[in-house]
Amino acid sequence: MSNLDRQPALSACGGRGFVVAEPVRELLSPRTVKLGESTEVRRLLPNLGRRMVGAWCFVDHYGPDDIADEPGMQVAPHPHSGLQTVSWLHEGEVLHRDSEGSLATIRPRELGLMTSGRGISHSEESPRPHARFLHGAQLWVALPDAHRDVAPHFQHHAELPQVTAPGLTATVILGTLDTATSPGTAYTPIVGADLTLASGTETALPLDPDFEYAVLSMSGEAHVDGVPVLPGSMLYLGCGRTQLPLRATSDASLMLLGGEPFEEEIVMFWNWIGRSHDDIAQAREDWMNGSRFGDVKGYDGPPIPSPELPPTHLKPRGRVR
C-alpha cells in the first residue's frame, strides 16, 4: 500500500533520541487518511511524538469495510525504495503486482513482504469479484544503510509459524517470537506477530528486554498491561520488558510490533526512505522520468505521480527521554 497523501511531510525518523529506555504505556491515536476512492485508513505511524518502533516506521489500519458494492482497494502503480512493505489481512484479498514481475493474491493471515531496496514499483487492488469485507494493516520496515540498496524482491508466505498458549495463538509475521521465526527475510532484529485471544483469556507473552514494543488493536476488547486498547489504536510500550500481560474481555485480535531501536537517522517522504533530502530528491526525479523503479505490467491505469518535494533541507533530530 502506498502513502497517497498529496501533501506528505518530509519527516525525520530514527535515532536513539526517540527511544524510551524503560517500560511505558503511551496510547497513540490514529490520523484518518483517504486511500484511493473507497478505502479510508487509520495511520498510527509516523505519529506526533512517536515516529518508529524498532525498524517499524509506518503503520496503517483499515476496515473492516463493507466493499460488496464498491471497487475496494485500488492503488495504482507507485514506487518504493529503502524499505520493506508488509501486507497483512484479516478479511478480504489483495492482488499484488510489481515491476519485478511478481503477481500474487494475498489472503487473510498470509505474509506479503516486498523488499524495495534500491527501487521497485507495485500496485495493489481488490480482485474482481472480491469478498464482501476488507480488513487489514499495511506496515513498513526501514532498511538499515548496509541493505537499503539490496536488489528488490517479493515474498509470499501462506504458512507461518505459531506460538500457542491457552486462549492465545500468536502467528509470527516477521522476525522471531519466543522459539518461532518467520520465513520472511528480515534485515534488523525485529518481531511482528498477529495475536488472537479468546474471550476471557489472561496470559503473558515473553518479550526481549532489548527491544522496544507497541501493540496495535485490530478487533475486539483487550487490555494490554492493564490498558484498554480499542480497535484502530496503538499502545507504545517502550523497552525493558521481559513479558507482556494480556487480558481479553471478548474475542480479540492484536498485532505485536517490536525490534531493537533503530539507531540510524532517516528521512521519509511519500513512499521513499533515504538518509538526506538529496536522496529523496533523486528518488523523485527517477520516478518522474521513468528510470530506476521499472514498470508494473497488467495494471489497468496510469502510475501515480509524485507529490512536490518541499525545498528545505531537513536534518534529522532526536529527542531524549
The tens place of each residue's pLDDT in the chain, 321 residues long, gives 555 555 566 777 776 667 888 999 999 989 988 766 666 899 999 987 789 999 999 999 999 999 999 999 999 999 999 999 999 999 999 999 999 999 999 999 999 999 999 999 999 999 999 999 999 999 999 999 999 999 999 999 999 999 999 999 999 999 999 999 999 999 999 999 999 999 999 999 999 999 999 999 999 999 999 999 999 999 999 999 999 999 999 999 999 999 999 999 999 999 999 999 999 999 999 999 999 999 999 999 999 999 999 876 555 444 333
List, in order, residues 6 or more apart from 145 with CB less than 8 Å away. Answer: 264, 275
Give the model's pLDDT for residue 17.
Answer: 65
C-beta separation of 23 from 237 below 8 A: yes
How far, rounded to the nearest angstrom, does the alpha carbon of residue 321 sit from its chain's CA centroid?
Answer: 25
Rounded Cα distance, 251 and 263, in Å = 37
Rounded Cα distance, 143 and 150, in Å = 9
Residue 319: phi and psi, rounded to 5, are -140, 160
Give the model's pLDDT for residue 82.
Answer: 98
- Which of 66, 73, 87, 76 lies closest to 34, judged by CA? 73
Find the DSSP H helices in the chain: 277-288
Give the model's pLDDT for residue 316.
Answer: 46
pTM: 0.93
Cell of 102: 511478481
Give the model's pLDDT for residue 312.
Answer: 65
Rounded Cα distance, 209 and 230, in Å = 25
Give the model's pLDDT for residue 39.
Answer: 67
Cell of 130: 472480491
Per DSSP, the three-state class of 142 is: strand
Give the model's pLDDT for residue 86.
Answer: 98
List, in order, residues 6 or more apart from 195 with CB less than 8 Å away. Answer: 168, 169, 170, 205, 215, 246, 253, 254, 255, 256
Kindly state the helix (H) or strand (E) to which residue 22 belongs, with its residue range. Answer: none
Rounded Cα distance, 133 and 135, in Å = 7
Give the model's pLDDT for residue 59.
Answer: 97
The DSSP output letter for 48 is T
Q: CA-CA distances (angstroms) from residue 194 to 11, 129, 134, 286, 317?
A: 28, 27, 17, 36, 32
